[in-house]
């Protein structure tokens, strides 16, 4: 009857086991950190590849937009003089750009507007309460 390597004389005392515990915890932390870094490295490679593909797609989209603008000028040139069709397309593009700028400025103003009940005011209130100054009402 073999018990697959069990040796009762190899029993270690509780103090020996407790003494080995910090080493085992350190080894476990190192192994977990190595596994985490390996996983993070793989994800970073995939993210880099994905971002690179987005950049290439955006570049192709940018050039396709130029082709569509040229197409609009050529299509208008069939019924109008070429210079007038180019002028109409340019004005339309500038109008679109101006509208987008106005929308963007509005969004930025809304995002940076000071809110009297916002986070900065809340932090100031907490600091004042910590100093013992100001209103303590909830």
Residue 107's pLDDT band, with cuts at 50, 70 and 90, is very high
Give yes or no for residue 122 having a pLDDT over 90. Answer: no
Beta strands in 1-138 (DSSP E): none
pLDDT recorded at residue 72: 96
Residue 31 or residue 59, greater confidence: 59
State how far the Cα of 22 lies from the Cα of 77, in Å rounded to an integer: 81
Residue 2 or residue 19, greater confidence: 19
pLDDT recorded at residue 22: 87
Q: Bin 115: left if φ > 0, else alpha if -120 < ψ < 50, else beta.
A: beta
Give the residue-averaged pLDDT of 76-102. Answer: 96
Average pLDDT along the chain: 86
What crossing angle do the helices spanning 14-77 and 82-112 adopt, rounded to 10°? 150
The pLDDT tens digits for 62-76 are: 999 999 999 999 999
The pLDDT tens digits for 4-53 are: 566 655 677 888 888 888 888 898 889 888 888 888 888 899 899 999 99
Q: Residue ranges per domain, the chain?
A: 13-79, 84-138
- Please check whether residue 115 is in contact with residue 121, taking contact to mean a CB–CB distance below 8 angstroms: yes
Give every CB contact of residue 88 below 8 A, 6+ residues apart in sequence: 76, 80
Give the residue-averaged pLDDT of 99-127. Answer: 82
């Amino acid at each position: 009857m073999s018990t697959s390597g069990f040796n009762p004389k190899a029993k270690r005392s509780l103090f020996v086991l407790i003494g080995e515990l910090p080493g085992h915890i350190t080894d476990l932390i190192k192994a977990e950190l190595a596994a985490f870094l390996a996983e993070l490295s793989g994800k970073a490679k995939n993210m880099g590849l994905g971002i690179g593909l987005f950049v290439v797609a955006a570049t192709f989209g940018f050039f396709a937009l130029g082709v569509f603008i040229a197409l609009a000028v050529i299509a208008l040139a069939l019924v109008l003089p070429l210079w007038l069709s180019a002028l109409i397309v340019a004005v339309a593009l500038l109008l679109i750009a101006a509208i987008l700028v106005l929308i963007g400025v509005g969004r930025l103003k809304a995002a940076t507007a000071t809110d009297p009940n916002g986070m900065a005011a809340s932090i100031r209130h907490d600091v004042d309460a910590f100093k013992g100054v100001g209103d303590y009402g909830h």
